[in-house]
Amino acid sequence: MSSSLMALMTIALTLASALLVVVGVRRARRDVVIEERLAQFGHRVPTLEELELQQPFRERVILPMLERLASVAGRFTPQANLQRLQQRLIEAGSPGNLRATTFVGIRMLAALLLGGLFLILFLPASVSPLMKLGFPILTGAIGFMLPNLWLSRRIAARKKEITRALPDAIDLLSISVEAGLGFDQALTRVVEKWDNALTREFGRMLSETRMGVSRRQAMRELAERVNVDDLSVFISSLIQADQLGVSITQVLRVQSHQMRQRRRQRAEEQAHKAPIKMLFPMIFLIFPALYIVILGPAIPRIFEAFR
């Protein structure tokens, strides 16, 4: 076999191999494209039942149950009580976006669960009928009050957090305004600096002003939502200064001084209350132990002397 024939066969085999590689790559890409298109057009739309089952248990079972209890409770609850409860939920920061009627349903559910549990426990017990009925009713009343106690503690904690954060926020506002920033820009600086209940409320106020609400109206709504005395006084001073044309820098400087003074007074008040609060642990915990240590060895001798 001549060398020229060998060269032609080598070239032919090389071209055939390259052709097979190209065909294989194109065929693989075509198969992938076809599979993707089939998956795209062959996707089955889930049914309503499947979509409902994909939701968490809280949204599928607990919330509808609370809504039914809330609808029942709303018929027998006065509208004034619902409005007062809604205001308290707003003061607590709207935990879980709860409505007043839903919170009443939670209270009813807690009362039924706690009262029913103790009723099941006391029915087979050998106690008087008064205990079998009275104790579940008492525990049901306690269960009805527990959510309200939790809400009160949450409101108190949030107001305390806002009261503590307010002097520092006013200081930063005053410094920013004196440095040349506008009031809205200074408030934005405060919102970016910290993340607490006060700055979140300031951020909401800024969002409302951007949507077209006047600054005075947004500040009034902020004071109504939070219902903290120090913040209400501060906002009233800002609104009055805006109405009278007083310099905002001077108002912020005066309010900053007053807020620091109030914080110092609250700290002194807590310091004066500390001895009274320490009195009860000393009487019930420390003094009995001291009496046992000091008078313990003398008790046997006293008994021997009176024999």
pLDDT the model gives residue 287: 81
pLDDT digits (tens, 9 = 90+) for 52-107: 666 665 666 666 766 676 676 666 677 788 888 888 888 888 887 778 888 888 88
- Alpha helices of the chain — where are they, by DSSP H? 3-41, 48-54, 57, 63-76, 79-91, 100-122, 129-178, 183-193, 197-210, 215-226, 229-244, 248-281, 287-295, 298-305
Quick count: other Cβ atoms within 10 Å of Cβ 90? Answer: 15
pLDDT digits (tens, 9 = 90+) for 111-160: 888 888 877 777 766 767 777 777 778 888 888 888 899 999 999 999 99
pTM of the model: 0.68
Contact criterion met (CB below 8 Å) for 85 and 100: yes
pLDDT the model gives residue 30: 47
pLDDT the model gives residue 49: 62
pLDDT the model gives residue 154: 92
Q: Which residue has the tokens 């809400």?
A: 151
pLDDT digits (tens, 9 = 90+) for 128-142: 777 777 777 888 888
Q: Is 70 exceeded by the pLDDT of residue 257?
A: yes
d(CA 75, CA 104): 11
CA 14 from chain centre, in angstroms, equals 71
The least confident of 154-163, 195-204, 285-294 is 285-294
Question: What own/partner pairs with CB < 8 Å and gap ≥ 24 does 150-154 have?
Answer: 151/88, 151/89, 151/92, 151/103, 154/92, 154/93, 154/95
Tokens of 38: 């089939």
Q: What's 45's DSSP letter?
A: P
pLDDT the model gives residue 28: 44
CA 39 from chain centre, in angstroms, equals 42
pLDDT digits (tens, 9 = 90+) for 13-42: 666 666 665 555 455 444 445 556 555 555
Output phi, psi for 194, to 5 deg: -125, 165
What 3-state class would DSSP assign to 183? helix
pLDDT the model gives residue 153: 92
